[in-house]
Amino acid sequence: MSALQYNKQKHKIGVKCIISSLTLVIVAFLLWNYRDDLYSLQHITFTHFLIIVVLQSLKRLAQAEQLRKVLYRVTAVHIPFKKWFSMFITASLSNSLFAQSGNIYFASTLKKYESIAITHFIGGRLFVLWLNTCLTILILFVLILCFQPYIRISGFPVVILVAILLFLSLAGPGLAVVTFRIIVSDSGESSLSGMRAHVNRLVETISKCCQDAAVLGHVLFTALIIFVVGMGAFSVVFHSIGLSVGLVELAFFLALLKLSSQVIITPGNIGIRELAYGFLSQELGMGIAHGILASVIVRVSGYAVLFPFGIYFAGRELFILRGSKNK
């Protein structure tokens, strides 16, 4: 790494730390201003938390199997689920702490030990994320039309906002590829030719998945399971702090979780996601503090799944590698 790259990386980390600090200060300030709502924490029981952790675990299992099946159909490489889940959880834990570090670990491990091309991994992962996001927003859109078609956020009709978001989710990848190809063809720079080749391979992988009925069916089915499990988890989260929340509101929070997990600004989007949940909760008439508390509970329960499994799998992998070196 050159001195310039090092300074850029150092600057980027510094900016993220500043953003994290500012958002956490704002979160603390809001919780202090609405401290009366914090008494809702007394409703949380160990049973509530255990149910949320179990649902979080089921979600991780479904996500792991979803991606494993896609890569198998693309590469014809079969990886036992136990081994795959170990890599998946380790990568998820790493991603939650350091943005994209888990994806880098996952891709490099698959390339080194399973001979799976990095473009196949990225393409398969993007395909899964895309379909999951589209399905979540589509279900939210249908729920709004059926139960609360006139709901507004900051005076703006939500049904229009979600319709635009759904269109961008469905058409976004195609528009991004077309835009990139236009820029590359117009620039004529040879330095972009390698990038164009990588993008073409990604597009080929995603197109192959889209044309495979078995892959589409599997991803959509598991995405539906993940959605239902997520709705159940949020229902228990809000019930644990004394709130009864409807289907539309639950779907809103689930969609926000899905979107916030794809745009990483700070490690785990800590502080930012809490503010987003607080704003949404306030707009839905549930109180800003309750939204922040819900985000904290979701975050803590997620770490309660990732940390034990992640530390165990990472430790076991290091132990195996050390043992193989000693032989």
The residues near 193 (Cβ < 8 Å, ≥ 6 apart) are 184
User: What would the pLDDT profile of 274-297 be if each residue is shown by its tens digit?
Assistant: 999 999 999 998 999 999 999 999
96 pLDDT tier (thresholds 50, 70, 90): confident
102 pLDDT tier (thresholds 50, 70, 90): confident
**Given this model, what pLDDT does residue 97 score?**
78
User: What would the pLDDT profile of 199-213 be if each residue is shown by its tens digit?
Assistant: 777 888 888 888 889
Give domain limits for the chain: 26-326
pLDDT (average), residues 33-44: 85
Query: Is it the case that residue 18 has pLDDT exceeding 70?
Result: yes
Query: Is it the case that residue 191 has pLDDT exceeding 60?
Result: no
The residues near 133 (Cβ < 8 Å, ≥ 6 apart) are 169, 258, 259, 262
Report how far residue 247's alpha carbon sits from residue 14's, in angstroms, rounded to the nearest whole number. Answer: 40
**Given this model, what pLDDT does residue 174 score?**
75
| Residue 180 neighbours by CB distance under 10 Å | 15
